[in-house]
Amino acid sequence: MGHDTYRPVTKAMDDDFGGWGVTAIDALSTAIMFENEDTVRQILDFLVNLDYNRIEDGTSIQLNEVTTHQFGGMLSAYDLLNGPFAHLVPQQDLRDGLYRQMVELGNVLSCGFGTPSGVPRNWVDTALCTTDDALSNTIAGAGSLILEFARLSDITVFYEYLLKAYIYDSKAYAPYLERWKLAADSTIRYIASHPYGHPEWTLLPRWNGRDIIKEMDAPCWFAGGNFILAGMITGNQTLIDFGVSIADTAGALYQMTATGLGGELVVWTTDCSPSFKARFDLDECNSSNSVQVTSPEYKLRPEVIESWYYAYRATKDLKYREWAWSAFKAIISVCETESAYSAISDVNAVNGGKELDEMDSGFMAQVLKYVWLIHLDVSDDTAQGRLCIRLLTRVQDQAPFHVKDSRRGSGNMWVYNTQGHPLMVAGDPV
């Protein structure tokens, strides 16, 4: 457990997050919500004895990655274990130990903010409380710190966090929602793209200077859920419809592969240009080939299932649950190894191609959690619904950590960070 990344084929371990047990701590909130008491206590016993001044295989850690994975996981565990899942860990010493470590890690990470501008640098030497000399950071990297440090002060990907910071405290972060709305409006007006033959599909290209590059990588699918969430809390149906169109596009693309899973990168054409046909050796361009998977690996990414969860919460359309369950079964079919689950090389090969011997910690932090959440409904009488409800024995009637649709009169008491860790909101539920 003292290592970070597990290689599920060779059963080797890597310490790419300082040797601070990122996979275990990333999985902690999922284990709590699943009420897996033995696993929760095992992780906590490990966590309370960590030394954040010691880094394996180096001297520095990456600020935004450690914040969203480990720090976010610890904050979420603290909120869950002092809220709806307090019965799992009645021992005060373990809760106190989690609190102390949470504050200690927050102090360590705060070293990254020692810059003239106040914008944090990305690499921190925890023993010396110094940073690298880099003069730049991404807005996603800096923005990813908002929720976690705001939550810590109350206890003691950038535009995504603008919206979620508003949900966390709608009064303190009211301007963030307006900033998010401006970005969302620009995305809908100027960035959204619809591939040839599919005006109902929505993809988000990237920009290179003034040029639009019609390609979208797997992590970008989170945008569907982010737009839907914004629509639910503001009552804006346009935002919901836009997010749903992204989620539906992912569903269609998953169904087009041999494995039922999506690749790392897709490209598309809106006009069937000669260059597109030449690139993919197409005699003719039509609705069945206007989107192409150019990086066919599946790396146990959670973003598509995350967006389906938000889509289901907004629409109650059962297709999103069916898609999530089909994807889960596909993962079991082609990604399962003797000891865990592995990324695969080719979603268009029936058996998934080669096992890549990679398992991102987000698989347990998010994939398993969102598959469970989308089926967590006391009115669900399907086999998978009954299975998910059995995992939640004491708080199933309330499930307060569910994303709420404000249009139906219920505000959000929790908000999920970018790694799928639920944090208790500080302000009035929205």
Which residues does the annotation mark as catalytic?
264
Q: Give 60's strand partners.
A: 125
Q: Residue type for 228, please?
A: I
* DSSP-derived 3-state class of residue 123: strand
Long-range interactions of 276-280: CB distance < 8 A, separation 24+ = none
Q: Residue type for 203, please?
A: L
Between strands 414-416 and 291-295, the pairing is unpaired
Residue with tokens 């109902």: 200
In the structure encoding, which two tokens stand for residue 153, read together?
């002060």
Q: Give 416's strand partners.
A: 422
Residue with tokens 């597990």: 6
Cα-to-chain-centroid distance, residue 275: 35
Residue with tokens 């999920």: 416
Helices (H), ranges, 82-213: 92-109, 139-143, 146-155, 158-168, 174-186
* DSSP-derived 3-state class of residue 82: coil
Q: What is the DSSP string of 312-378?
A: HHHH--THHHHHHHHHHHHHHHHHB-SSSB--BS-TTSTT-SSB-----THIIIIIHHHHHHHH--T
* DSSP-derived 3-state class of residue 107: helix
Contact 424, 414 (CB under 8 A): yes
Nearest CA to 101 out of 39, 41, 47, 28 is that of 47
Determine whether the annotation assigns residue 130 to a binding site: no
Q: Give 293's strand partners.
A: 266
First vs last C-alpha separation in the chain: 38
Annotated binding site: 418
Annotated binding site for Ca(2+): 418
